[in-house]
Structure 1
Amino acid sequence: MKIACVGLGDIAEKAYLPVLGTRADTELLLCTRNPATLDRLGAQYHVPPERLHTTLDGVLAARPDAVLVHAATAAHAELVTRLVEAGVPTYVDKPLAYELKESRRLVDLAEERGVPLMVGFNRRHAPGYAQCLEHPRDLIVLQKNRHGLPERARTFVLDDFVHVVDTLRFLVPGTPDEVRVHARASEDGLLSHVVLQLAGPGFTALGIMNRVSGSTEEVLEVSGQDSKRVVRDLAEITDHRGQPTVRRRGDWTPVARQRGIEQCVEAFLGAVASGTPLSARDALETHELCERVVLAAEEAGARS
């Protein structure tokens, strides 16, 4: 398969290229506007000059079988629109777009054209989180904190908290009938922390992000029926049933596999190769819930 990676920033270089660059069944194309980055990564992954591109036009002219978009969020809508209109199966880093109306338009366009579109919510594929589906989940608490990074509500939520929102949607054992949002913003409109509560028959889920925390961490707790599972930084799993039992990531387990990136890529490329339909309709529900969080956070900022 001829696979293009559009946008060669930090996430592409750290997470996706190590996966794509080692696949024997993949002919890799690279695209970025930065010639120095293009040459460096082309050399690192032995991509010949004719498969290195500085424009999307060049990528489309090469007729790729699929494209993975890792450009800045602000560029997603334009890039995905062009790819879908060209009939190219597309994988895009979360979120689809900053504005909900644009995300809806992209999902509708892909479905109208019959073009596979997938949003990269890798935590659904991370083993530590996916295995929690086998655990009682009466109460779910996910904290994803950072140090010294308050931000405007829309970028805070769509670029980062979106992972928490989607993971809660993935793990809740039913359909929530109650949604609550609490947010705190400073007088200059920067959001410092947000709490999302989802509740339904027999379960409650809390998603928490503090961007002025004392540390960068991600901790998931699921509990029920006198048992609890804690997943720390997607790598360490502790089961509590009286005495705790700890499992850690194996020394030889790649980080991309631990974080679900490898599995995301495999799911996308496998669906493309087999002709299995892919829709971003469920991912759109995450974007819609994120919009509720953004509006609540902006209201909190207006009251500050």
Structure 2
Amino acid sequence: MKIAIIGLGDIAKKAYLPVLSEKEGIELVLCTRNVETLNALAKKYRIEEKVQSIEELITKDIDAAFVSTATEAHYELAERLLENGIHVYIDKPISMNIEETERIVKLAEEQNKVAMVGFNRRFIPKVKELKDHGKASLILMQKNRFASPEHVRRFVVEDFIHVIDTLRFLMDTEVKDVRVESLKNGDELHHLVIQLLGEGCTAIGIMNRNGGVTEETIEYHAGHHKVVVDSLVETTHYHDKEINITKFGDWEPTLYKRGFYQLCHHFLDCVANGTTPDPSIRDSLTTHEICERIVKEIEA
């Protein structure tokens, strides 16, 4: 298969290029307007085909593309790719605009093409393992950042969307209601606390972007078990007075710990086999819809 990577910024350099350059059975094509970056990364990874525009890329007869540009470019690129019969993987979010997001979901289904959003936490081993402890009745997730408040829509749709999607994944039931509390200072959102209510499960998501530390933790309560995942790499299991701590082995690569190998390979397997990704693009739309609801409630 011939696979393109569009946008060669930080996440492409840290995750997609290292993972995809190791994948057997695919041929990579790089695409970015930055000539210096394009040439440097093509040389580093010994990739022969490289282009500077989506128009030129479409002529390369690619099977699928990873869209890893700035969010503002996602919609136009995904639309062009799908209209030309090319499968797409899109970094979250699909778009900052819910109408554009809905258009991409509809277009992918009309074109019968594989489309997937980069929610890597669903593929992180320590997060996936939480479900092995049984169905949760209570889940708490905090994803905080040091001293970086942000405008409401960007806060929620670009960053907090990971919290919403991870909670939905772990709840494993339909979200019946959403409750929102937040703190703004002028146009900037400092912190956000939400409750997702489902059948037999309450999920609480917290993000403080004006705090004292960048951190991420998940508490998973199932029956008489409490399981805590810290920084996505360490699990502590509590059962009465019993405490068990498990970590990754010293040689496990970071991109495996953070689910990028699994995520990328799942998308490529779906492209190769013509199967529907999990999560589907339709399921990912639900996450975007909840984020839009939160934004509107805060701004109201």
CA distance in 2, matches of 1:232, 1:259: 12
Alignment RMSD: 1.1
Q: Deviations over 1:55-99 (max 9, x none)?
A: 111211111111000000000000000000000000000000001
Deviates more, 1:62-71 or 1:171-180: 171-180
Match of residue 293 from structure 2 = 292
The question of whether the paired residues in 2 share the 8 Å contact of 1:4 and 1:28 is answered with: yes
CA distance in 1, matches of 2:251, 2:110: 43
Q: Is the partner of 2:175 in helix, strand or coil?
A: coil
TM-score by length of 1: 0.95
Count of matched residue pairs: 296
Q: 5 Å matches for 1:1-304?
A: 1-48=1-48, 51-136=49-134, 137-187=136-186, 189-241=187-239, 242-278=241-277, 279-299=280-300
TM-score by length of 2: 0.96
CA distance in 2, matches of 1:200, 1:42: 47
The question of whether the paired residues in 2 share the 8 Å contact of 1:89 and 1:115 is answered with: yes
Which amino acid in 2 is paired with 1:176?
A: V
The question of whether the paired residues in 2 share the 8 Å contact of 1:182 and 1:296 is answered with: no
CA distance in 2, matches of 1:176, 1:288: 11
CA distance in 2, matches of 1:86, 1:154: 30
Which amino acid in 2 is paired with 1:227?
A: H
CA distance in 2, matches of 1:176, 1:159: 20
Deviates more, 1:167-176 or 1:64-73: 167-176
Match of residue 302 from structure 1 = none
Which amino acid in 2 is paired with 1:286?
A: T
Q: CA deviation at 1:202?
A: 2.3
Q: CA deviation at 1:177?
A: 2.4
CA distance in 1, matches of 2:97, 2:175: 24
Q: CA deviation at 1:28?
A: 0.9
The question of whether the paired residues in 2 share the 8 Å contact of 1:198 and 1:205 is answered with: yes
Question: Which residues of structure 2 form unaligned runs of 5+?
Answer: none
Which amino acid in 1 is paired with 2:131?
A: L
CA distance in 1, matches of 2:298, 2:258: 28
Q: Deviations over 1:125-161 (max 9, x none)?
A: 1111111112241110000000011011111111100
CA distance in 2, matches of 1:207, 1:275: 35
Q: CA deviation at 1:36?
A: 1.1
Q: CA deviation at 1:201?
A: 3.0
Q: CA deviation at 1:5?
A: 0.3
CA distance in 2, matches of 1:119, 1:277: 12
